[in-house]
Amino acid sequence: MTFRIRQIELTATGREIVRDRDLNTNTLSIGRSTQNDIHLPDLAVEPRHATMVLQAGRLEVAATGSLGFVRDGADTRSAGIDPRGGAELGFGTWRVTVSQDSDGAVLLIVRQAETAATRSGDLEEKRRFSLSGVVPGKRGMSWILAAVILLAFLAVPIVSHSMRDPASKQGVIGDASWSPGELSLAHHSLTDRCEACHVKAFVSVRDETCLSCHKDAHDHADPMRLAAARGNLPLGQRFLWSVAHAFGKQGPGACQDCHVEHQGPMRLDAPSQQFCADCHTGLKGNLPDTVLGNASDFGKLHPQFTATVVTDPMTRKVSEVSLDHAPHEDGGLSFPHKLHLDPSGGVARMAANIGAERGYGPSGLKCKDCHHPTEDGVRFKPVRMERDCEGCHSLAYDKVGGIFRRLHHGDVNQLIADLSARDYHPSSPADMNRRRPGQYAAGGLYSFNYSAPMWHGLQLRGALSKDGICGECHRPTMTGGKLGVVPVTQPMRFFAHGWFDHAAHRQEKCETCHAARASKSASDVLLPGIKQCRTCHLGESAPKDKVASSCAMCHGYHTGAVGSRKRKPIETKIALRPD
């Protein structure tokens, strides 16, 4: 036989909602658990309170737990009901009316009453013996709890903040309840000191507050240029910012736009690529006088690299030139990489002969023999004559009692004094026509006669001449009537506004990026272009076989004047003084 369960519920306005469902079964379960056929959500009802079994036209109802139920106002644990005569069952505050529908189905009408079903039929007489008789109702308790929450978590911190003396550095009572999360690792020491950053109540953190501690941090560019670089914001963003400004929020471009706090004990995340692209995608259009190109994604839209190279060695003037233009530099040094790296040349044979003494390999010189990384591995130290060159290019000019006298590299005044004070013995000149592998004959590439028959001024002129010992690597010059050489400048960085870490690329060979083996002149700028870098690096959304490279990987926001014609001086190391 069929059970027809009719659930009657009331809306907030008192309107009844009636839902019918039919169950073709002989047994029904009743209880608080949602797995029951008749679900009665009431704590006075057990999870499985009772069962209904239809047998031979009669309905047998039996309690399955420790509690009974009410039939027609009387407590019981079991009842037999004829559906044609009907009955009313009570389970907590729920009423189940049993009857027979017109089509013969057993009709169970389920609705909730305001009071629990008892034998007396009225619970109001017993309310004074329960908690509901001595405490306010639900609505009253809600208002009381809301007032307590406002007092404890809003009023107390506000009163504490307004009455405290800022000079005493006392904390605000109860301000922890306002914290949206833990501070980052950088600001972990400010935990429980909200007033250190939130100076004014109900006002967002101001830039001047951040700068009171981060004194060395400066803006990316002039604020007026930053605003112009953003261009006209879309209508939706302008509306959102107008609402934010109405509540005292700074921006766009405020410190907290990028440095979001209260995200947990972690490092502050680097800004996303879009943060930079908001300005740099259309930078040339918004700032026509900028020297920077448009950039939004390293793999899709990024200008060619610009190298800062020395163009005048005497004044050490530098210029920024795009690598698209095959730039040349003039660092004051004459040095052919190809000659030194040729595995079949004379330099390779010499390196092999003195390899045990200087640590050179049997196949000739390698990049590492002259270029030594800094302690952090990021860059390379300047090449030094005594450490990197003198193994082949000896500066010995005399021998006294078995001791070789050497010129002081990098000090022209000392060189003049040494050569001028040398004892002259015409019959035994000091190492005339010194020989080196390769073109070692008289007049050859590795043959130098810087002593006899010249003496004093003539001898000095020979050493500092184009064919003298100094002229092998340096360009002689005359400054104020005084002999000397063009000063050497070795840049430590060619990309003044970008970051590159050699240590992160140590798995690659130097020749992968630097074409030194084919360079015949020291003026060649041996830097890889953007095409070479893109073989491994693409933008923030690069595929799995590439290195995802956002703007922050190579560029910093607070790293000097960017977007204007003002430039920081090149970082250099001076290898030879022009005395």
Tokens of 400: 């006294």
Whole-angstrom distance, CA of residue 437 vs CA of residue 415:
26
Work out the pLDDT band at 394, boundaries 50, 70, 90. Answer: confident
Which pLDDT score is estimated for 509?
92
Q: How far is CA 448 from CA 123, 188, 395, in A?
A: 121, 66, 12
Tokens of 540: 């923030």
What is the sign of the dihedral through the CA atoms of 452, 456, 458 and 461?
positive
Residue that the structure tokens 């740099």 belong to: 280
Q: Regarding predicted confidence, which is higher, 161 or 206?
A: 206
Whole-angstrom distance, CA of residue 392 vs CA of residue 385:
10
Residue 562 reports pLDDT greater than 50? no
Tokens of 178: 């306002």
Which amino acid is located at 194 in the chain? C
Beta carbons of 468 and 451 less than 8 angstroms apart: no
Q: Closest Cα to residue 62, out of 72, 49, 74, 50? A: 50
- Burial of residue 551, with CB atoms counted within 10 A of its CB: 0-12 exposed, 13-18 middle, 19 or more buried: buried
Which pLDDT score is estimated for 134?
66
What percent of the chain lies above the pLDDT cut of 90?
28
Which has the minimum average pLDDT: 266-275, 430-439, 465-474, 553-562?
430-439
Which pLDDT score is estimated for 493?
87
Work out the pLDDT band at 569, boundaries 50, 70, 90. Answer: very low
The full 3-state SS of 63-101, as one line of letters, equals: ECCCCCEEECCEEECEEEECCCCCEEEEECCEEEEEEEC
Mean pLDDT rounded to a whole number for the chain: 81
Whole-angstrom distance, CA of residue 169 vs CA of residue 151:
24
Residue ranges of the domains in the chain?
Answer: 2-125, 157-269
Which has the minimum average pLDDT: 215-219, 345-349, 409-413, 439-443?
439-443
Work out the pLDDT band at 32, boundaries 50, 70, 90. Answer: very high
Q: Residues 389-394: what's their mean pLDDT?
A: 85
Which pLDDT score is estimated for 574?
39
- The number of residues making up the chain comes to 579
Residue 241 reports pLDDT greater than 90? no
Which pLDDT score is estimated for 484?
84
Please name the residues in contact with 383: beta carbons below 8 A apart, sequence gap of 6 or more.
370, 371, 389, 490, 575
Tokens of 74: 């009387």
CATH code, residues 2-125 = 2.60.200.20
Residue 272 reports pLDDT greater than 70? yes
Whole-angstrom distance, CA of residue 1 vs CA of residue 311:
102
pLDDT by residue (tens digit) across 99-145?
998 888 888 999 998 777 654 444 445 445 555 566 677 788 888 88
Whole-angstrom distance, CA of residue 204 vs CA of residue 161:
15
Residue 577 reports pLDDT greater than 60? no
Which pLDDT score is estimated for 79?
92
In this structure, what is the dihedral angle of CA atoms 390, 393, 398, 399, given to the nearest 10 degrees? 60
Supply the DSSP symbol for 447: -
Q: Residues 479-508: what's their mean pLDDT?
A: 87
Work out the pLDDT band at 450, boundaries 50, 70, 90. Answer: very low
Which amino acid is located at 477 in the chain? T
Work out the pLDDT band at 1, boundaries 50, 70, 90. Answer: low
Which amino acid is located at 337 in the chain? H
Q: Residues 371-398: what's their mean pLDDT?
A: 88
Work out the pLDDT band at 179, boundaries 50, 70, 90. Answer: confident
Which has the minimum average pLDDT: 19-33, 64-78, 214-228, 325-339?
214-228
Which has the minimum average pLDDT: 123-127, 263-267, 371-375?
123-127
